[in-house]
Every structure is written in C-alpha cells, then in structure tokens.
Amino acid sequence: MKIIPYGHQFIDAKDVKEVIKVLKSDWITQGPKVKEFEEALCKYTGAKYAVAVSSGTAALHIACLAVGISSDDEVITSPISFVASANCVLYCGGKPVFADVQEDTVNIDPIEIKKKITKKTKAIIPVHFAGHPCDLEEIYNIAKKYNLIIIEDACHALGAEYKGVKIGSCEYSDMTVFSFHPVKSITTGEGGAVLTNNKEIYEKLLIFRNHGITRDINKFTVKNVGSWYYEMQELGFNYRITDFQCALGLSQLKKIDKFIERRREIVEFYNEQLKDLEEIILPIEKPYIKSSWHIYYIRLKDSTKRRAVFEKLRESGIGVQVHYIPIHLQPYYRKIFKYKKGDYPVAENYYETTITLPLFVGLTIKQLKYITYKVKEIINEKK
Ligand SMILES: *Cc1c(COP(=O)(O)O)cnc(C)c1O
C-alpha cells in the first residue's frame, strides 16, 4: 500500500527546466541565481535584505550569530516546534528557555514570555506554528520594553499574513527565518533564508554564511593590499546554497500564491468534513490572520484514544504525524537543563492529543475524501 504522506513538494516541468538551465551554465554555486532568489524573496515579503543559505537550521544559526548570541545569553522560544528552533541557541553557547504556548493557536504565549525574562535574556524566537503567525504586536512590545531581539522562526509561514502584513517583512522583528525543505511552502531541496531590514545585521549574515570571510576592502583591518586579499574576521561556516537550488526556489516562488490558495482549500474541506465530530478539536485561524497552513492538526478531546487512532490511520495508509514532541522533553534537553514533565502543561497537553493529517498542494480530492472518511470511521468506532 502506498502511504499518503503528511507533506510533499510540488514540482512541475517549469521548475525542472529552470534547474537544468543552471546545471548547463558556468555557475552551479554562488552564481547570479542566489542574488536573484534573494531579491525575489525581498520583493515578495517587503523586507530590505535577504541571505539565502543551505537550510532553515543554518539560517537560524547565523541569525543568532549575527546578533551575538553567546554563552550567558538566554533566548526564549516555544517548546512546540522542531528542535532546530532551540538548537540554534545551543550552537552559539546560549541557553534556550521555553515559554508555554496558547491553548487556541499553540503559538508561544506573550504572557508566558514575560514570566521567563531575566537579566540574561537577549532574544525571543517566536515560531509561527502550523503557519499561523504569533501575536507579533504583543511580542514586539515586550521586546521593546526589555530591549530584546526578535528572530521569527517562520519556517512554516512563508505566504502567511499578520494584520495584512506579509510574514518576512520584519515589521515586528529584527530578522525572519524561512526553510525551503520539501514539506514547506516552497522548496529548494534543502535550503533556507534570513530576512532583515537592518543593514548591519545583513552584512554580518553574509560573513557568517561564508566562513566569516569578507572581501570588502572597506572592512579590512589593513590598507594597501593585493587584489587576492581577503580576511577572516569571525568564525563562520559554509552555509552557502547552490545556484541550481536558487533557480528552483525562484521558479517555486512564482507559484506561492497558488500554493497557499490550494492549502487553504484543503483546510476548508477538512473543516467542513470534520466539524461535526464531537471527539475532536479543529485548528483555528484568528480573524486578522492569513495562515499559510503548513500543517493541519486535529486534537482528540480524550488523550487516551490518540495512540490507537493514530496507529489505525497509519494502518489505513494515511501518513499521519505528530508535530511536535515538546523540545524540553527530549532526552538531551532533560539531561542538560533538568526539564521534566509538567514544566509546560499547555504544550504537553497539546502534544498528548494531537495528530497531523496530510496537507500538501498535490493532494487529490479522492485522497481527501478517503482521509476524512477514515478519520470519521476510526474515531466513531472508538466511542
Ligand atoms: C523545518 C523547520 C526548521 C528547520 O529547517 P531545515 O530547513 O529543515 O533546516 C526550523 N524550524 C521549524 C519550525 C521548522 O519547521
């Protein structure tokens, strides 16, 4: 039986053609397509600067480095996210501190953020869970009051809007991070980007992407040098993305509005089909939000039934998932920071009850009907 996955890329003949063009050209890495893709991301989101890198994780890492996150710094993020949202702080020697999530959106709760602020707090990494933007205005006001940096983890949220403003515009943040992994809004295979309106941060990002090296004569520590000369001024990484990946990204970005539209249609279908099931809670979208709907999650009111429902859906060929195991409960985090069950009750309760259903552009109406039929059948027989 072929499993219907929870997410899948959508690649058409145009995408393939654009990649092949670059493969036949002189530059397969760091050629013109990288800059073009960065400019297209700026145009789409409204941000001034973009730096494309090899993954969303790399983007989070250089975002932290660019604002100098280091040992002794605390950074507040959500426990309901992919581990990379917190790991990027660890990479810099800092301490990730979690703040519990809201019951309705599963996004980080501004009230909980406030409770976690100490003298060591340097930044906040809000994660736009499932593509639904966080309470950015509230978080922005907290950051202003306590002089904190905001790095939006928008890996789920390319194409989303907050109060009419595109995520990625950095209107309420210092930087926004995207991922172009195949399950995300658009793909470059692996890939990611950091967007910012701050020129100083932008220049740092460029340096950290490429080993900490600069070739800008205005930035050299010495004068009157040969044209071969470059300087390594920071400890950076090779987080470069290739030109053919950016060609794919450019071609994909042209389709983003259609992609988001299709995702929203699928969500409407799920909502309509599942709204009368009393045993589950459906995800919400606040009135001033346009979600990019990265994932569609249902919550079982009775958590003791989750596992059986999950396994039965899998046995039916439906590639359900759980997003996410709370980061603070991962053995590595428990060991180092002594986190334990009960530390973040809203996040933990969400985790105990959630199941992610398939959601991707190429999902057919036949598959959707099968999934909703099975969900209803399995949940009703559990009564
Ligand atoms: C996908 C994802 C990342 C990491 O992106 P990669 O491109 O896979 O490295 C980080 N944060 C969140 C919330 C993600 O979903």
What CA–CA distance (Å, rounded) separates 123 from 126? Answer: 10
Convert the pLDDT of each residue in 283-323 to its tens digit: 999 999 999 999 999 999 999 999 999 999 999 999 999 99
> Is it the case that residue 382 has pLDDT exceeding 70?
no
Taking CB atoms and a 6 Å cutoff, what residues make up the pocket around ligand 1? 55-57, 81-82, 84-85, 127, 153, 155-156, 179, 181, 192
pLDDT score recorded for residue 381: 82
Residue type present at position 334: R
> Is it the case that residue 380 has pLDDT exceeding 60?
yes
**Among 309, 324, 272, CA closest to 107:** 324
pLDDT score recorded for residue 152: 99
Nearest CA to ligand 1 atom 2: 155
Q: What is the CA radius of gyration of the chain?
A: 21
Nearest CA to ligand 1 atom 5: 56
Q: How confident is the model at residue 87 (pLDDT cuts 50, 70, 90)?
A: very high
Q: How confident is the model at residue 383 (pLDDT cuts 50, 70, 90)?
A: low
Q: How far is CA 222 from the centre of its chain?
A: 40
* Mutation to probe ligand 1, out of 9, 83, 155, 321 (largest number of atoms < 8 A from CB): 155
Q: How high does pLDDT run on average in the chain?
A: 97
Convert the pLDDT of each residue in 315-345 to its tens digit: 999 999 999 999 999 999 999 999 999 999 9
Atom of ligand 1 nearest to the CA of 129: 13
Q: How much is the average pLDDT of 116-141?
A: 98
Tell me how long the chain is.
Answer: 383
- CA neighbours closer than 13 Å in the CB half-sphere of residue 67: 28
Convert the pLDDT of each residue in 10-43 to its tens digit: 999 999 999 999 999 999 998 999 999 999 999 9
Q: How much is the average pLDDT of 241-260?
A: 98
> Is it the case that residue 6 has pLDDT exceeding 60?
yes
Give the whole-number percent of the chain exceeding pLDDT 70: 99
Convert the pLDDT of each residue in 178-234 to its tens digit: 999 999 999 999 999 999 999 999 999 999 999 999 999 999 999 999 999 999 999
> Is it the case that residue 133 has pLDDT exceeding 90?
yes
pLDDT score recorded for residue 1: 76
Atom of ligand 1 nearest to the CA of 55: 7
Q: How much is the average pLDDT of 59-82?
A: 98
DSSP state at residue 217: G
Q: Which string of DSSP letters, residue by residue, matches 279-343?
A: TEE-----TTEE---S-EEEEESSGGGHHHHHHHHHHTTB--B-----GGGSHHHHHHH---TTS
